[in-house]
Amino acid sequence: GHSGAGARLLLLYGLVFDAGSSHTSLFVYEWDSDKENDTAVVSQTLSCDVQGQGISSYANNPPEAGNSLRECLHKALMAVPAEKQRDVPAYLGATAGMRLLSAADPQVLAEVAKTMQEYPVAFKGAQILSGEEEGAYGWITINYLLDSFTKVGQGWNGEWRAANIFGALDLGGASTQITFVPKGSVMSQNKSPELTLYGYSYNIYTHSYLCYGQNEMLKRLAKELIVESFPSTRVQHPCYPKGYNETVSVSSFRASPCTDGSDPRLPRGDINVTLEGSGNASGCRAAIRKLFNFSACGQSQECTFDGVYQPPLRGQFIAFSAFYYNFKFLNLTEGQPLAVVRQAIEELCTRSWEDLSSSYPKENPKRLPKYCANTNYILILLLHAYKFNETSWNNIIFQMKVGSADAGWTLGYMLNLTNMIPAEAPASLKGHMPSLWAAAITFIILTLILGLAALLLLLWA
Ligand SMILES: *[C@@H]1O[C@H](CO)[C@@H](O)[C@H](O)[C@H]1NC(C)=O
Ligand SMILES: *[C@@H]1O[C@H](CO)[C@@H](O)[C@H](O)[C@H]1NC(C)=O
Ligand SMILES: *[C@@H]1O[C@H](CO)[C@@H](O)[C@H](O)[C@H]1NC(C)=O
Ligand SMILES: *[C@@H]1O[C@H](CO)[C@@H](O)[C@H](O)[C@H]1NC(C)=O
Ligand SMILES: *[C@@H]1O[C@H](CO)[C@@H](O)[C@H](O)[C@H]1NC(C)=O
Ligand SMILES: *[C@@H]1O[C@H](CO)[C@@H](O)[C@H](O)[C@H]1NC(C)=O
Ligand SMILES: *[C@@H]1O[C@H](CO)[C@@H](O)[C@H](O)[C@H]1NC(C)=O
Ligand SMILES: *[C@@H]1O[C@H](CO)[C@@H](O)[C@H](O)[C@H]1NC(C)=O
């Protein structure tokens, strides 16, 4: 869209920081002001990874949380023409890492806001998203980018339409979200929102599981393994590769809300424990399963674990963020059946650390030993908790981007806060909306085909 000065005048920009638990990313979006009420018109101009850890890690030094954003803010300004910078709405949304750090958050958020206000953009606020917002905005992002809110306008009723909306599966460092449009209505006690977008209402189900992001899952797993073998300070870790060791201090579990510092089974004092990889795929699965309380669901089918309600799955899902990154490591071609995926994970888990580190010299050495745990975790979450099965597994599409933009909550968040998602179908789209015409034409064509077939049969006989 940079063709000529006339076209450039119509471009608008927006900027969103995704302050996750383990790192922060910045996204710059652009769109044509003429079409702002249509779907799939916003594209991603820039993404920038903030150096260092997530903002919640600066709880003891909040000004540094603000400073960490400067490099990316600078890059963002380079991507926006100078005369437009003051009109660029700029947001920072923080997710599960900050939800966990409730005590210190006012200072950290105040510092990031202070830094953003120093730049010539229209700063609109820094806030912590709830898990439900995170889920809903991710769902809005992917369906907006896939144009599914308006493209499926060929449907003749709302029920058909809802069936062609994609569900969203998001896995972060500290939480994971599932969001979809179930059949019928969502049980009333669920606080999932009803959203009216482009002339249709969607009764979505969304749930965010705090402490079930991949990093918190790994911490909880380590804690359980250590507590079970106490007082040993050398503990076998079935999900880590043979030959890989990791030293953790027991006091780190006390500092994190997900590992329940008040657990009486935690050894007292500052003990270091060495986790020794044993590369045992079945042992790994068994240990991960214990992180979920499946029995808390009793006999209920509409329940995932820990007593959480979920209606039956429906439709296709896009699995992004860490769902995508971990699966990408398995190096499988798209659409593999579950049995092939299981086999690949099994093989991965039995490879030694020596073998892995020499086979993947370019891979981040902090991530490499964790793929076995992460991929097993993902399968247990999707199959046992969410209840995908051998058949519905094929409805999951692992994808990082949709079109030009990353799948995630940031775009949906910006669209909503800038009022770019109208409740009514915009005038420019009404011409494409389902009409009796479409039905009539299909009917006429079908009639013609049937007539022709009958004629042929007659002639043949
Ligand atoms: C988009 O919708 C809003 C409110 O519905 C309206 O005020 C605005 O003029 C629309 N913009 C365009 C470009 O159609
Ligand atoms: C891990 O610990 C074991 C047992 O102490 C030791 O034999 C091995 O050399 C260690 N491996 C590494 C990579 O440090
Ligand atoms: C634990 O290990 C760290 C470095 O890995 C060391 O500084 C600390 O003294 C150790 N603590 C104990 C109790 O051994
Ligand atoms: C792997 O773990 C399982 C379950 O914990 C255990 O029964 C089995 O003996 C282990 N296998 C090896 C080779 O250690
Ligand atoms: C699982 O949940 C049930 C019901 O809430 C509870 O009684 C049980 O103690 C839980 N089990 C574990 C291991 O936490
Ligand atoms: C991924 O798989 C392809 C074949 O499907 C292979 O050529 C390639 O080397 C693999 N990459 C890695 C990193 O293993
Ligand atoms: C898989 O789950 C779907 C619902 O999501 C259900 O209709 C189907 O019968 C299940 N298939 C098998 C093989 O269990
Ligand atoms: C989007 O913003 C409106 C207010 O403009 C709010 O009522 C609505 O709940 C928001 N949508 C979501 C998904 O949070």
Ligand 3 pocket residues where CB is under 6 Å:
247, 249, 270, 272
Q: Are 305 and 293 in contact (CB under 8 A)?
A: yes
Distance 238 CA to ligand 5 centre (A): 24
Residue 184 tokens, joined: 């019928």
* HSE-CB for 38 with a 13 A CA cutoff: 16
Q: What percent of the chain has pLDDT over 90?
A: 70
pLDDT at site 260: 78
Confidence class for position 80, pLDDT limits 50, 70, 90: very high
Separation between Cα atoms, residue 126 and residue 129, nearest integer Å: 10
Residues belonging to the active site: 134
Confidence class for position 158, pLDDT limits 50, 70, 90: low
Separation between Cα atoms, residue 236 and residue 226, nearest integer Å: 9
Is the CB of 36 inside a 6 Å radius of any atom of ligand 1? yes
pLDDT of 441 > 60? The answer is no
Is 176 annotated to bind ligand?
A: yes
Q: Are 175 and 130 in contact (CB under 8 A)?
A: no
Highest mean pLDDT among 38-42, 231-235, 419-423: 231-235
Q: Are 414 and 91 in contact (CB under 8 A)?
A: yes
* Residue to mutate (ligand 3; options 245, 249, 273; most atoms within 8 A of CB): 249
Closest CA to 260 of 100, 98, 22, 60: 100
- Measured by CA distance, the residue closest to atom 6 of ligand 2 is 243
Is 236 annotated to bind ligand?
A: no
Separation between Cα atoms, residue 430 and residue 432, nearest integer Å: 5
Q: Which ligand is nearest to the CA of 246?
A: 2
Is 173 annotated to bind ligand?
A: yes
Q: Are strands 317-321 and 167-171 parallel, antiparallel or unpaired?
A: parallel
Separation between Cα atoms, residue 405 and residue 47, nearest integer Å: 9
Residue whose pair of structure tokens reads 């076209």 in the numeric block: 7
Is the fold of 4-129+409-429 the same as that of 212-298+320-403?
A: yes
* Interval 244-249 mean pLDDT: 96
Residue range 336-359, pLDDT digits in tens: 999 999 999 999 999 999 999 999
Helix (H, G, I), strand (E, B) or coil at 236: strand
Q: Are 372 and 281 in contact (CB under 8 A)?
A: yes
Helix (H, G, I), strand (E, B) or coil at 202: strand
Distance 348 CA to ligand 1 centre (A): 52
- Measured by CA distance, the residue closest to atom 2 of ligand 2 is 245
pLDDT at site 36: 81
Distance 257 CA to ligand 5 centre (A): 19
Distance 251 CA to ligand 3 centre (A): 11
Closest CA to 46 of 80, 90, 18, 86: 80
pLDDT at site 432: 47
- Measured by CA distance, the residue closest to atom 8 of ligand 1 is 37
Closest CA to 204 of 175, 169, 178: 178
pTM of the model: 0.89
Name the residue ranges covered by the structural domains of the chain.
4-129+409-429, 212-298+320-403
Is the CB of 282 inside a 6 Å radius of any atom of ligand 4? yes
List C-alpha distances in Å: 318 to 238, 321, 323, 409, 433: 30, 10, 10, 13, 25
CATH no. of 4-129+409-429: 3.30.420.40
Q: Are 409 and 129 in contact (CB under 8 A)?
A: yes
Q: Into which CATH architecture does domain 212-298+320-403 fall?
A: 2-Layer Sandwich (3.30)
pLDDT of 157 > 70? The answer is no
